[in-house]
Amino acid sequence: MNPRSNIHEQVLTATTTDALMDTYGGWAEQYDHDLTKAWGYPAPERAVQQLKRYVPDANATILDAGCGTGLVGQLLRQQGFTSVNGLDFSAGMLAQAKEKQVYGTLLQADMNRSLAIPDGAYQAVTCVGTFTSAHVKPDALSELVRITCTGGFVVFTVRDTYWVETNFDHHIMSLCQSNRVRLHECRTEPYIQEEGSECKLLVLEVL
C-alpha cells in the first residue's frame, strides 16, 4: 500500500477519540490525495449515485454526516444539490471541507453522542466512511434516522469487517422491526481499492 498506509492503520486502531482526532488532524491536508488518487476510494461516488436515485429533488435538505474533507459534499454539489450541510468531529478535516465551499453550514460534533439537531431536520442524510473500526458506533444510526424527516432517506456505508464485528445487520433489523425505517438497498461495493476492502452500501427510508 501507499507509504502513508501507516496513518490509515492508526485511524482504524485508535483507542481513544483524542488519538483519532489527532491522527485525522495530521492527515487532513493529504487525505484527499491518499484516498482518491493513491488508493482508490469509490464509496463516495457510489453513495451519491444512490442518493440521486432516491432523492431527485435538487433542493432537498441534506446532511453529510462524518463529512471529513468534503468528498461527498463536493459530489453532491456536482450532482446539482443546493442545500447541503456537513458534520464532523475533526477540526482539521472540517477546515479542509470549508475550503471546498460546498456546504451551507459545517458543524463540529461527536456522532457517538446525541446530536443537537431537531427531529426530522433533513430530507436526506449521507454517511460515508464513518461506520468503521474505531470511529462511529452502530447506535449512531438511530440518531441519523431521528434527524431525517418522514419519507426521507439515509444513505450510508459500513466497512465489511465492521459489519461483521458489530453485527451491524442486527441494528438495521431492529430499526425495521420498530417501523422506524424501510430497507431499500443493501449491496456490497468496493471500499478502498488498494487494500481490496469492501463495504455495505445501504439505503433506508424513514417512516
Task: Give the CATH number, domain containing residue 64.
Answer: 3.40.50.150
Grid cell digits, residue 196: 481490496
pTM confidence score: 0.90
Domain membership of residue 60 as a residue range: 5-206
* pLDDT tens for the 207 residues of the chain, in order: 444 457 666 656 655 666 656 666 567 667 666 767 778 899 999 999 999 999 999 999 999 999 999 999 999 999 999 999 999 999 998 999 999 999 999 999 999 999 999 999 999 999 999 998 777 999 999 999 999 999 999 999 999 999 999 999 999 999 999 999 999 999 999 998 888 999 999 999 999
Amino acid at 199: C
Grid cell digits, residue 77: 454539489
- How many domains does the structure of the chain reveal? 1
Contact indicator for 77, 64 with CB cutoff of 8 Å: no
